[in-house]
């Protein structure tokens, strides 16, 4: 079977994404904007396309309208090709009236769609991770080992290990044991063979990345066992010793976008001189919707470690260590520090801007503002002389306009922040 058709990719959209609230109040996790112009779902899909895997399903059930629209407007292939990216939302059937109960249950409920396609391997991916991986190398390793299941694994240190599912592998990369989020005192018994570089960094433990390869027939067999709901908690541990499960060690950049803190940190790392996640790699293009926006226009602004997306109109005094999303408007004498401004879905016309100037509610960020340690969701109206200073001094809180989590202020989508408003 050709490499292009031997693998079917399945991207798991995740549940309600409560740890990413309020960014997931009106959109699913895979639809959350990342890096100014992309959506989280663009990451696994782009990794697939760059690996010549062009038959991709995205499974979702919560707030899926914007995700459906994004995928429809982005991933269009030739009529003469069998490539596709399709969304499968949870659906009621005569045999099942429940929503997805876990990662394995999501795949189980959609198996009727998958088995219509010819494939040898199912590549199961998460929709909320940031990384660049050649999936061909993963599939080739699976095939060469004669494996039934392959887990992509990441060497981690003792500090991070308790946050992951940790497995033990032998010198032949065969997985012999698995434990979910082990206590720190158990870690000495869970050391696995890793490269010399990883040993020198103290990364002695293999964490599951939530990326799996299954042989077709085995996946069908496992999905017929209806009392298993989750891959990490049930399917994988139960398969060890029963099936040949191998570890594929990945040593590149990878991060899980599961919380506001991890999302914020991963986004601002893109402003580094040499970021760990490389948006400028010719061989690992990140695909997204082609919006045909004008170039950004910047007037009198000091930029330092800033990522500026397409179509922005910026008159700020300074933007530092920040990512500015598409169509952003930022007024005169405004300072943005260590923040992610997601931008806007459309432009206001001049008449609307003139009318809104009377009460400081132009869509975008007004004049003489100071914003730091903040995520500004899309289509927000932030007036003039607004001060938002996030930090550890702020307690967690939530109201109609904004949420504070771990010191990060998140201005909710479409919020209208009046002139002179202060959070500090």
| Inter-residue long-range contacts of 141-146, CB under 8 Å, 24+ positions, other chains counted | 141/246, 141/248, 142/213, 142/246, 142/248, 145/173, 145/244, 145/246, 146/244
* CA separation for the pair 121, 206 (Å, rounded): 23
CB 352 within 8 A of CB 385: no
Contacts of 242 (CB under 8 A, 6+ apart): none
Report the C-alpha gap between 318 and 311 in whole angstroms.
Answer: 18
Mean pLDDT of 193-203: 92
**What pLDDT band is residue 282 in, cutting at 50, 70 and 90?**
confident
Q: Is the pLDDT of residue 18 over 70?
A: yes
Mean pLDDT of 411-420: 94
- Reduced to 3 states, what is the DSSP secondary structure of residue 206? strand
| pLDDT level of residue 243 (50, 70, 90 thresholds) | very high
Whether 209 contacts 152, CB under 8 Å: yes
Give the DSSP letter of residue 232: I
Can you list the domains of the chain with their CATH numbers?
A: 3-271 (3.90.550.10), 297-423 (2.160.10.10)
- Which H or E element spans position 421? none
As a dihedral over the C-alpha atoms of residue 220, residue 222, residue 226, residue 229, rounded to 10 degrees, the angle is -110
286-300: average pLDDT? 94
Task: Specify the 3-state DSSP secondary structure of 123.
Answer: strand
Query: Among the listed ranges 213-222, 262-271, 346-355, 371-380, which one has the minimum average pLDDT value?
Result: 346-355
Name the strand (E) or helix (H) holding 43: helix 42-50
Q: What is the pLDDT of residue 248?
A: 96
In the prediction, which pLDDT does 180 show?
86
pLDDT value for 353: 76
Check residue 249 and give its pLDDT.
Answer: 95
d(CA 79, CA 61): 28
**pLDDT at residue 19 in the model:** 84
pLDDT of residue 93: 55
Q: What pLDDT is stored for residue 2 in this prediction?
A: 53
Percent of the chain at pLDDT exceeding 70: 93
Q: Kindly tell me if the per-residue pLDDT of 369 is higher than 70.
A: yes
Task: Identify whether the C-beta of residue 64 lies closer than 8 Å to the C-beta of residue 71.
Answer: no
Q: What value does the mean pLDDT take over residues 185-193?
A: 92
pLDDT of residue 360: 59
The predicted-structure confidence for 42-81, as pLDDT tens digits, reads as follows: 999 999 999 999 999 998 876 677 888 898 889 988 777 7
Taking the C-alpha atoms of residue 291 and residue 47, their distance in angstroms, rounded to an integer, is 21
Among the listed residues 43, 195, 180, 10, the one whose alpha carbon sits nearest the alpha carbon of residue 109: 10
What would the pLDDT profile of 132-175 be if each residue is shown by its tens digit?
Answer: 999 999 999 999 999 999 999 999 999 999 989 999 999 899 99
**3-state secondary structure (DSSP) of residue 151:** strand
DSSP string, 305-358: EEEE-TT-EE--SEEEEEEE-TT-EE-TT-EEEEEEE---SSPPPHHHHHHHTT
The pLDDT score that the predictor gives to residue 92 is: 54
Most confident of 68-72, 284-288, 372-376: 372-376
pLDDT surpassing 80 at residue 246: yes
More confident site: 102 or 327: 327
pLDDT at 109: 83
Percent of the chain with pLDDT over 90: 69
pLDDT of residue 91: 57
Does the pLDDT at position 27 exceed 70? yes
Mean per-residue pLDDT over the chain, rounded: 90
pLDDT of residue 423: 96
Minimum mean pLDDT range among 40-54, 108-122, 393-407: 108-122
**Structure confidence at residue 95 (pLDDT):** 60
In our burial notation (b when 16+ CB lie closer than 10 A, e otherwise), range 269-283 reads ebbeeebebeeeeee
pLDDT at 96: 57
User: In this structure, are strands 381-382 and 364-365 parallel, antiparallel, or unpaired?
Assistant: parallel
Tens digit of pLDDT for each residue in 297-354? 999 999 999 999 999 999 999 999 999 999 999 999 999 999 999 999 999 887 777 7
Q: Are 341 and 378 in contact (CB under 8 A)?
A: no
What pLDDT does residue 125 have? 95
């Amino acid at each position: 079977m050709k490499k292009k058709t031997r693998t079917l990719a399945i991207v798991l959209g995740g549940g309600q994404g409560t740890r990413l609230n309020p960014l997931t109040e009106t959109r699913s996790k895979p639809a959350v904007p990342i890096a100014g112009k992309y959506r989280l779902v663009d990451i696994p899909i782009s990794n697939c396309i760059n690996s010549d895997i062009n038959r991709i399903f995205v499974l979702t059930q919560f707030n899926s309208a914007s995700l459906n629209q994004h995928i429809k407007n982005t991933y269009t292939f030739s009529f003469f090709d069998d490539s596709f990216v399709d969304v499968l939302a949870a659906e009621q059937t005569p045999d099942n009236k429940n929503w997805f109960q876990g990662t394995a249950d999501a795949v189980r409920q959609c198996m009727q769609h998958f088995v219509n396609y010819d494939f040898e391997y199912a590549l199961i991916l998460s929709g909320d991770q940031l990384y660049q991986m050649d999936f061909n190398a993963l599939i080739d390793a699976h095939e060469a080992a004669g494996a039934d299941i392959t887990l992509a694994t990441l060497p981690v240190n003792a500090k991070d290990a308790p946050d992951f599912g940790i497995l033990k592998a032998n010198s032949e990369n065969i997985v012999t044991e698995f434990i979910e989020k082990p206590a720190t005192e158990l870690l000495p018994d869970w050391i696995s063979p890793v490269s010399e570089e990883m040993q020198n960094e103290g990364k002695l433990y293999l964490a599951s990345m939530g990326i799996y390869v299954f042989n077709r027939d085995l996946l069908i067999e496992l999905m017929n066992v209806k009392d298993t709901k989750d891959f990490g908690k049930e399917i994988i541990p139960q398969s060890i010793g029963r099936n040949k499960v191998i570890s594929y060690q990945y040593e590149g950049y990878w991060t899980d976008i599961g919380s506001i803190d991890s999302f914020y940190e991963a986004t601002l790392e893109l402003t580094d001189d040499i970021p760990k996640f490389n948006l400028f790699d010719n061989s690992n293009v990140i695909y997204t919707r082609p919006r045909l926006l004008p170039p950004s226009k910047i007037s009198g602004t000091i930029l330092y470690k800033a990522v500026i997306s397409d179509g922005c109109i910026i008159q700020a005094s300074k933007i530092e260590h920040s990512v500015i999303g598409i169509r952003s408007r930022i007024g005169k004498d405004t300072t943005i520090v260590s923040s992610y401004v997601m931008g806007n879905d459309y432009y206001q016309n001049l008449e609307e801007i003139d009318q809104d100037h009377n009460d400081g509610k132009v869509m975008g960020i007004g004049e003489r503002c100071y914003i730091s340690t903040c995520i500004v969701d899309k289509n927000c109206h932030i007036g003039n002389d607004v001060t938002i200073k996030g930090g550890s001094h702020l307690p967690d809180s939530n109201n109609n306009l904004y949420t504070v989590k771990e010191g990060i202020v998140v201005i909710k989508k479409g919020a209208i922040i009046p002139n002179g408003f202060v959070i500090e």
